[in-house]
């Protein structure tokens, strides 16, 4: 099988939500198990070279490809308590 159409770098440049194999953007979603339940157990957090990486299972239903989106926790934002914004620390 030939290599992917998009490298990891090209995938990140497009901000994801594109199939690395067929480059389709219409049928790319988190896997159905994640969509249905939305539970944290359906994500996988690993420690990779000292940084916590969140791995979100993805799928392209156009060409039946699956992969993991790898997220690094960056920060939090839009913090609210009972709907009231909390100022930054």
> Which residues of the shown chain bind Zn ion in the complex (CB under 5 A)?
19, 21-22, 24, 60, 62-63, 65
Cβ proximity to Zn ion: between 21 and 58 the closer is 21
Cβ proximity to Zn ion: between 7 and 37 the closer is 7
Query: Residue 55: which residues within 8 A CB-CB, separation 6 or more?
Result: 43, 44, 45, 46, 68, 69, 70, 71
CB of 27 to Zn ion, least distance (A): 7
CB of 81 to Zn ion, least distance (A): 42
Output the six-digit token pair for 65: 């490809």
d(CA 22, CA 24): 5
């Amino acid at each position: 099988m030939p290599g992917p159409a998009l490298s990891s770098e090209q995938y990140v440049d497009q901000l994801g939500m594109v199939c690395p194999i067929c480059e389709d953007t219409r049928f790319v979603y988190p896997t159905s198990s994640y969509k249905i339940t939305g539970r944290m157990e359906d994500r996988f957090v690993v420690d990779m070279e000292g940084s916590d990486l969140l791995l979100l299972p993805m799928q392209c239903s156009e060409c039946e490809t699956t992969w993991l989106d790898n997220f690094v926790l960056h920060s939090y934002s839009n913090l609210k308590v009972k709907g009231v914004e909390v100022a930054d620390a």
